[in-house]
Amino acid sequence: MHKKTFLIHTYLFLIASSLGAQQSFDQMVNKLLSHSVKEIKTEDVSSFKKSVLLDAREQSEYNVSHLKNARYVGYKKFDTNCLVGLEKTDTIVVYCSVGYRSEKIAEKLEKMGYKNVYNLRGGIFDWSNKGYSLYNALGPTSKVHPYDNNWGKWVTKAYKSYE
Catalytic residue among 53, 56, 67, 96: 96
Is 96 catalytic? The answer is: yes
Report how far apart, in Å, the C-alpha atoms of 143 and of each of 13, 26, 69, 161 are: 27, 22, 16, 6
CA distance 160 to 66: 13
CA distance 58 to 64: 10
Name residue 74's amino acid.
Answer: G
- Do residues 124 and 161 touch, judged by C-beta distance below 8 A? no
**CA Rg, the chain, in Å?**
17
Residues acting as catalytic residues? 96
